């Protein structure tokens, strides 16, 4: 019983499973549907293909029509090109003919324009470099146009232009003999431009109030020289520029048309010169300053001492504030002892005083001797620099050697400039010191003796 | 008059050719000669008066042999030598400075030569000539000044020593 029941239960269970499966998958139905779908798809593809074939055929016909159209156009254009080519040939021939006729008719004129071009070019070069252009800047444009015209084959210079060339050349000549005043644009040393009244002397100099100007041919500008010549030259410029017409004023003119004034910028001024001396130069200058200070201190001190000593000479009372007074005090102290002790004590007192008077004298002398030696040192180092430059670059360019040579010479100059006054000051100071020392060393005892003698006489 | 003007013109030209250093050299030589002449005049006229005064002071003393007398005599001699040798050192220094200044002129002249060389190259000898004359003329002037000075300073020193010895001889210890 039990197995039957169990089989029935299993069958029930299976029955419960199968229908469920058939309900979900439906395998037999889907395959059929797929078949239907394929059948329908094949039918649709065939109709598509047919319609595509039809449109393609229509397109092909259209393209063929287009192609024949293009071929026709090509034929048209080719025939037109041939026509134009023959026309071009014909034009060329007539152009050559016309040119030949032009040549024939120009004849010697062509040569004339060549000369004209050359002359105008020369004149333009001259004018560009000339200071007179600052007054007539428009003539450069005119010449440029004229040169282009004379050089081109399509245009001929006109009579008026030829006359103007002649006029400009004549004007350059006439202006170079004149002193004129006119407003012009001047570029200052700081680069600022300003409209200023300038005075031009021929083609030699242009100046404004208290300044020489330079004409820069490259930039066609009037430039104020950044470094002006020394006072007496500038003063003449001032007087000249501010003079009334008809008044005669002397003036320094640069006959090289500005190049000498231009060189002025390149010459170094005092500070630059000193700087060329390098470290050695500054050491020498420092020594010079030291010597000056020492000498001044000595002069003042010695003069004061000298004054005090001279005052002491006239009085019997020893004053401890000066060397002679101190010696006199020593004398007073040991007056009653024997001569030998007295002399020893006095000698000691004098020996105490002299070093104070002669202080710094040796140092001054050393500076006077060392300064030219240091100058020599600078000279030798400068020459070493120069020879190094020569080994590197050869002797071809003196400008390269200039640095070392400047150092060599500047240090020598500085050495001498320090040595000469130091020697003089040393002599002066030494003279003062010597005078006082002589009074102390040789005369003091005599003076004291005389004084005390007089004292004795009056006491007796 | 004309000769004078012409010589002034010559001097001016010379100064111009020699450059600025010639002016200090000229002043130096001028000062040196003023001092030399001053000394010569003093030896001739001024010093005999001082010597006579010192002699009188010495003669006025009662005794001339004690230690004090010796010291006083020494003082008198020193006073004379101080006024005899005053200024001689300055003259000597000026003489020593003369060639130094000449050398200074040489160097500044050479600087000018090298400046010219830097601007126009070393082909232009004529442009360098100015610097060279500025280099050589001061040297020559310094030498000439120093040489004349050396000769006269020697004379002056000899004279001063001689005068001092004469005075020392005159201050006798006893008659």
pLDDT of residue A3: 54
- Could you tell me which residues come within 8 angstroms of residue A197 by beta carbon, excluding any fewer than 6 positions away? A181, A182, A183, A184, A208, A209
Residue A390 near chain B (CB below 8 Å) = no
Residues of chain A contacting residue B103, judged by C-beta atoms under 8 Å apart:
412, 416
pLDDT at A20 over 50: no
Q: First vs last Cα of chain A: how many Å apart?
A: 190
* B96, B100, B119 ranked by CB distance to A416: nearest: B100
Residue B114 near chain A (CB below 8 Å) = yes
Residues of chain B contacting residue A344, judged by C-beta atoms under 8 Å apart:
none
* B71, B101, B115 ranked by CB distance to A445: nearest: B71
Residue with the bigger pLDDT between A105 and A83: it is A83
Pairwise CB contact (< 8 Å): B75 & A339: no
pLDDT of residue A27: 59
Q: What does chain A come to in residues?
A: 460
* B67, B97, B110 ranked by CB distance to A339: nearest: B67
CA distance B71 to A443: 8
Residues of chain A contacting residue B97, judged by C-beta atoms under 8 Å apart:
420, 423-424
* B75, B96, B103 ranked by CB distance to A443: nearest: B75
Residue B107 near chain A (CB below 8 Å) = yes
CA distance B163 to B9: 43
pLDDT of residue A456: 52
CA distances (Å), A115 to each of A110, A120, A121, B45, in order? 9, 8, 10, 90
pLDDT of residue B27: 92
Nearest to A298 by CA among A366, A362, A351: A362
Residues of chain A contacting residue B92, judged by C-beta atoms under 8 Å apart:
427
pLDDT of residue A246: 80
pLDDT at A8 over 60: no
Contact A237, A210 (CB under 8 A): yes
Radius of gyration (C-alpha) of chain B in whole angstroms: 25
Residue B151 tokens, joined: 């000769």
Residues of chain A contacting residue B121, judged by C-beta atoms under 8 Å apart:
398
Contact A257, A203 (CB under 8 A): yes
Q: First vs last Cα of chain B: how many Å apart?
A: 61
Q: Nearest chain B residue to A421 by CA: give it.
A: B97
pLDDT of residue A92: 95
CA distance A363 to A416: 17
pLDDT at A309 over 90: no
pLDDT at A17 over 70: no
Contact A198, A182 (CB under 8 A): yes
Residue B23 near chain A (CB below 8 Å) = no
pLDDT average, residue stretch A349-373: 88
User: Which chain A residues in 259-298 lie under 8 Å from chain B, judged by CB atoms?
Assistant: 263, 266-267
Residue with the bigger pLDDT between A418 and A407: it is A418
pLDDT at A12 over 60: no
Q: Does the CA dihedral A304-A305-A310-A314 come out positive or negative?
A: positive
pLDDT of residue A284: 92
Nearest to A131 by CA among A201, A226, A233, A196: A201
Pairwise CB contact (< 8 Å): B72 & A449: yes
Pairwise CB contact (< 8 Å): B118 & A410: no
Residue stretches of chain B with pLDDT short of 50: none
Residue A431 near chain B (CB below 8 Å) = yes
User: Buried b / exposed e across B112-129, counting CB within 10 Å, b at 16+?
Assistant: bbbbbbbbeebeeeeebe
pLDDT of residue A322: 82
* A266, A424, A427 ranked by CB distance to B119: nearest: A266
pLDDT of residue A229: 76
Most confident of A30-39, A252-261, A310-319, A344-353: A30-39
A216-248 confidence digits (pLDDT tens): 888 888 888 877 777 777 888 888 888 887 888
- Could you tell me which residues come within 8 angstroms of residue B76 by beta carbon, excluding any fewer than 6 positions away? A446, B54, B57, B58, B171
Residue A449 near chain B (CB below 8 Å) = yes
Question: Which backbone phi and psi does A181 adopt, to 5 degrees?
Answer: -120, 130
User: Per DSSP, what are the bridge partners of residue A186?
Assistant: A194, A222
pLDDT of residue B30: 93
Pairwise CB contact (< 8 Å): A413 & B110: no
Residue B40 near chain A (CB below 8 Å) = no
pLDDT of residue B112: 82
Residue A373 near chain B (CB below 8 Å) = no
CA distance A237 to A216: 20
pLDDT of residue B95: 92
Pairwise CB contact (< 8 Å): B93 & A435: no
CA distance B9 to B1: 12
Pairwise CB contact (< 8 Å): A409 & B103: no
**Chain B closest CA to A434's CA: distance in Å?**
9
CA distance A8 to A2: 10
Residues of chain A contacting residue B110, judged by C-beta atoms under 8 Å apart:
409
Residues of chain A contacting residue B67, judged by C-beta atoms under 8 Å apart:
339, 449
Burial class (CB in 10 A: 0-12, 13-18, 19+), A391: exposed
Q: Which residue has the tokens 């012009």?
A: A184
CA distances (Å), B144 to each of A40, A115, A116, A428, B40, in order? 139, 65, 66, 24, 21
Give the pTM. 0.61
A90-129 confidence digits (pLDDT tens): 999 999 999 888 888 877 777 888 888 889 899 998 888 8
Residue with the bigger pLDDT between A16 and A298: it is A298
Residues of chain B contacting residue A263, judged by C-beta atoms under 8 Å apart:
119
pLDDT at A307 over 90: no
Residue A12 near chain B (CB below 8 Å) = no
Count CB-CB contacts under 10 A for residue A61.
10
A245-298 confidence digits (pLDDT tens): 788 888 888 888 877 777 777 777 778 888 888 888 899 999 999 999 999 999
Q: Which residue has the tokens 């002679």?
A: A324
Residue A372 near chain B (CB below 8 Å) = yes
Nearest to A147 by CA among A123, A170, A127, A172: A123
Distance of CA B95 to the CA centre of its chain: 6
Assign residue B123 a region (left: φ > 0; alpha: ψ between -120 and 50; beta: otherwise): alpha
Contact A401, A386 (CB under 8 A): yes
Mean pLDDT of chain A: 82
pLDDT of residue A220: 83
> Which DSSP category does A185 fall into?
E
**Chain A closest CA to B46's CA: distance in Å?**
19
Q: Which residue has the tokens 């010569």?
A: B40
pLDDT average, residue stretch A138-148: 87
Residues of chain A contacting residue B64, judged by C-beta atoms under 8 Å apart:
none
**Torsion from C-alpha of A61, A62, A68, A69, nearest 10 degrees:** 160
Question: Which backbone phi and psi does A189 adopt, to 5 degrees?
Answer: -65, -25
Q: What does chain B come to in residues?
A: 175
């Amino acid at each position: 019983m039990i197995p039957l029941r169990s089989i029935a239960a299993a069958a029930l269970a299976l029955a419960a499973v199968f229908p469920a499966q058939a309900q979900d998958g439906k395998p037999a139905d889907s395959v059929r549907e797929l078949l239907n779908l394929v059948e329908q798809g094949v039918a649709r593809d065939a109709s598509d293909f047919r319609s595509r074939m039809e449109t393609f055929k229509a397109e092909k016909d259209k393209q063929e029509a287009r192609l024949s159209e293009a071929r026709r156009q090509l034929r048209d254009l080719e025939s037109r090109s041939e026509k134009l080519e023959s026309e071009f040939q014909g034009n060329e021939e007539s152009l050559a003919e016309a040119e030949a006729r032009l040549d024939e008719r120009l004849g010697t004129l062509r040569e004339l324009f060549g000369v004209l071009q050359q002359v105008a070019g020369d004149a333009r070069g001259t004018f560009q470099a000339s200071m007179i252009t600052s007054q007539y800047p428009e003539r450069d444009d005119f010449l440029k146009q004229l040169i282009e015209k004379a050089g081109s084959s399509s245009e001929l210079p006109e009579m008026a232009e030829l006359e103007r060339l002649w006029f400009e050349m004549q004007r350059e000549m006439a202006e170079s003999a004149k002193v004129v005043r006119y407003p012009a644009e001047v570029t200052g040393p700081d680069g600022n431009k300003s409209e200023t009244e300038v005075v031009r002397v021929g083609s030699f100099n242009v100046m404004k109030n208290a300044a020489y100007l330079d004409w820069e041919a490259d930039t066609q500008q009037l430039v104020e020289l950044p470094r002006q010549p020394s006072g007496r030259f500038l003063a003449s410029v001032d007087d000249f520029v501010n003079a009334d017409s008809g008044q005669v004023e002397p003036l320094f003119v640069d006959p090289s048309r500005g190049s000498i004034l231009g060189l002025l910028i390149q010459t170094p001024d005092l500070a630059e010169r000193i700087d060329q001396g390098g470290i050695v130069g500054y050491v020498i200058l420092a020594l010079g300053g030291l010597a000056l200070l020492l000498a001044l201190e000595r002069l003042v001190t010695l003069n004061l001492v000298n004054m005090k000593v001279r005052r002491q000479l006239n009085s019997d009372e020893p004053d401890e504030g000066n060397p002679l007074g101190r010696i006199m005090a020593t004398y007073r102290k040991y007056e009653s002892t024997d001569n030998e002790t007295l002399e020893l004590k006095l000698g000691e007192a004098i020996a105490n005083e002299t070093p104070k008077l002669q202080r710094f004298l040796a140092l001054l002398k050393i500076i006077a001797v060392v300064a030219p030696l240091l100058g020599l040192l600078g000279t030798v180092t400068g020459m070493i620099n120069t020879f190094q430059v020569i080994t590197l670059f050869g002797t071809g360019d003196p400008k390269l050697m200039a640095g070392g040579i400047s150092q060599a010479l500047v240090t020598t100059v500085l050495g001498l400039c320090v040595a000469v006054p130091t020697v003089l000051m040393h002599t002066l100071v030494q003279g003062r010191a010597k005078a006082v020392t002589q009074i102390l060393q040789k005369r003091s005892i005599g003076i004291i003796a005389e004084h005390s003698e007089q004292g004795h006489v009056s006491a007796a | 008059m004309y000769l004078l003007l012409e010589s002034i013109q010559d001097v001016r030209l010379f100064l111009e050719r020699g450059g600025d250093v010639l002016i200090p050299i000229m002043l130096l030589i001028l000062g040196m000669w003023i001092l030399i002449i001053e000394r010569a005049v003093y030896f001739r006229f001024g010093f005999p008066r001082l010597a006579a005064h010192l002699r009188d002071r010495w003669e006025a003393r009662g005794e001339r042999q004690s230690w004090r007398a010796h010291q006083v005599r020494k003082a008198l001699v020193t006073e004379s030598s101080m006024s005899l040798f005053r200024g001689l050192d300055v003259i000597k220094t000026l003489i020593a400075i003369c060639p130094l200044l000449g050398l200074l002129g040489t160097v500044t002249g050479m600087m000018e030569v090298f400046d010219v060389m830097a601007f126009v190259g070393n082909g232009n000898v004529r442009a360098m000539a100015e610097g060279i004359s500025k280099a050589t003329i001061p040297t020559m002037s310094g030498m000439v000044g120093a040489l004349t000075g050396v000769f006269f300073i020697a004379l002056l020193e000899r004279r001063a020593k001689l005068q001092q010895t004469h005075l020392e001889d005159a201050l006798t210890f006893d008659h």
